[in-house]
Amino acid sequence: MDLSNRPSLIDKTRQRIEDYQFQIRVSEQGQVVSVGDGIIWIKGLPTAAIDEILISVDGCCIAMVFHLMEDLVGAIMLVQTKKLKAGTAMFHLKRALSLPVGDKLLGRVIDPLGNPLDGGEVPQCEEQGLLDMLSPPIIHRDFVNRPFYTGNKIIDNLIPMGKGQRELIIGDNGLGKSSLAIDVVINQKNQNVRCVYVLIGQKRSTVSNTIQLLKEANALDYTTIVVAQATALPGFLYLAPFAGCAIAEHWMNKGLDTLVVYDDLSAHANSYRELSLLLRRPPGREAFPADIFYLHSRLLERSTCLSAEMGGGSMTTLPIIETKEGEIATYIPTNLISITDGQIFFDEKLFSSGFLPAIDITKSVSRVGGKAQHPQIKKEAGRMKLDYMQFLDLEIFTRFGARLDAKMQKQIQKGRLLREILKQDRLSPLPIEFQQAWLIAYNDGLLDPLTVEEIPPVLKKIEQELKKTDLTLGSSREQWKNAVKSWLNG
């Protein structure tokens, strides 16, 4: 190897000395007053700004400015250490918190600062994304006009979603909210959608199970998992959703479609309340600080569908929120309902009756997804939804022993068939062509002769036959009807 043309170390050093400019460098030094519960109080940093990074003089501790007082700065710890104590010197770096972003994060499990949690190497990403950024202005946004398919029969037909939509998943603990979110991520395989799954305040067993399910479904190839466990510092729980948003936002700005799941924002709200109380902020309703609505709106407003001039990327968001005993009128749930573009409500009574996923259609809504729904699906689903809502009303009368005529009895029987059709197992997302097939079969009465017990094998047969056909949503209704007839009679 010819080294003659390479500059020597002496030459490099000489050049640096010649280029060096002598000038006064002024830096502020603060002093730790107290440390505890993931909070640091510091004096002597008069020009510190909110969200600015702080570092101790020995580099053992990194923190972020969270609260400003007249003579003190309140910061949240980002590194757990026992070396930090009162009197330690702290400096501020005059820059906001960021993390690595890019395709090298796909398939990785990281913390909110971008550090690996999967035993792999530190992601070598070329770009950094700020955790907290302004949401895109209105002139950079477009209408939600492209369908986003979840693979779920109820959602894709009755509560349709569009790319760039924010759809809240709400319900009591243990009703299948996270299972639905995992199914949605799995359904994005081969859809050219990059996913970010943010686990906030979850138990280690839950985190491990989620990672394993996504791995077994080969969903990690297009997914990044951001984890802030229940045992993590409160600051990590607070930053986790912003980290996931920053990762997805990078792809959106590149013109790509993304999906972000926040599981769940109840833990995020609780961590923010804990930090605010520790930092002596005045409590408000349910002891939450007054700006909790602004916190979540600031996060969720970053999800949008960008205009073609801005690349046409999108960020679809599924925030999850937990209720107590089905009460959706409490503070955080009502905040998020008003921020998002609709909600998917999980009901405990439906869960107990065996209707899974336990989505209550009467309380669930999608405010913008209907405009993005495919015209054929929209037409067929509209007829089906009307039948189902009428069936739910009629079924109430049967509980009181009311006598029904033959027409009503037939309607109730058809409604029970539909209820069986809408059931769906975990980890089994279905293509949108399957939705078109069973909708036509139901609306045209092709399933009427069947009993409730015969529905599952018939649906399985339709799913298998679909793999052998080249029918698409663009095919005519007559073609679909003839094909479904032949499958059912075959």
Q: Quote the CA–CA distance of 214 and 220 in Å, as a whole number.
A: 6
Alpha carbons within 13 angstroms on the beta-carbon side of residue 412 total 15
Tell me which residue has tokens 């009460």. Answer: 327
CB 242 within 8 A of CB 132: yes
Residue type, 19: D
> What's phi and psi for 11, nearest 5 deg?
-65, -45
Q: Quote the CA–CA distance of 85 and 382 in Å, as a whole number.
A: 64
Can you count the helices (H) and strands (E) in the chain? 14, 18
How far from chain centre, in Å, is Cα 372? 20
In terms of phi and psi (left: phi > 0; alpha: psi -120 to 50; beta: otherwise), the region of 354 is left
Cα–Cα distances (Å) from 310 to 12, 141, 142, 162, 298, in that order, read 43, 8, 10, 18, 21
The 8-class DSSP code of residue 16 comes to H
Residue type, 187: N
Task: Say which of 367, 416, 426, 477 is annotated catalytic.
Answer: 367
Q: Quote the CA–CA distance of 386 and 410 in Å, as a whole number.
A: 15
Q: Quote the CA–CA distance of 302 and 265 in Å, as a whole number.
A: 16
146 an active-site residue? no
CB 130 within 8 A of CB 250: no
Mind telling me the catalytic residues?
367
